[in-house]
Amino acid sequence: SLAGGAAPITSSPASDSRLATPAARMAAPPLELRILASQADRQEFLRGEVRPSLEKLAQVYFAKKPPPEDVVGFLIAELTRDECMPHPAEGALDEDEVLEKEELTEKIQALRTQLDHFQSKKR
């Protein structure tokens, strides 16, 4: 955890508007860690990088006739192609991922139990 609520954000210089051509994007350095220390920094990042990417993805998705049924697969393919990002890992989970999945499943179950308890108190 970072001091002052700063959030680590990985950002690709490939999304930089100065690197508009695919060749320029491919020559861009790999992902870098960017620290967004203030709310203004986070808002600027969302407004300047995240929102335009999401708007572009939405335009491409809805321009397809008919829209692709596999939304997740379509979005992954578009991001990997347009942003020159590596394809996500495929196949079975490794040991750390299995442990993380189990921990998250347990946390979800505990939260559902708490929610059921609170809802039963309301009645």
Q: What is the pLDDT of residues 51-75, one digit of tens each?
A: 998 999 999 999 999 988 999 999 9
CB count in 10 Å sphere of residue 15: 19
Ramachandran quadrant class, 42 (left: phi over 0; alpha: psi -120 to 50; beta: rest): alpha
d(CA 75, CA 72): 5
Higher pLDDT, 94 or 111: 111
Q: Which tokens belong to 44?
A: 């600027």
Q: Report the range of poorest mean pLDDT among 33-47, 51-65, 69-83, 97-111.
A: 33-47
Q: Domain map of the chain by residue range?
A: 3-90, 93-123
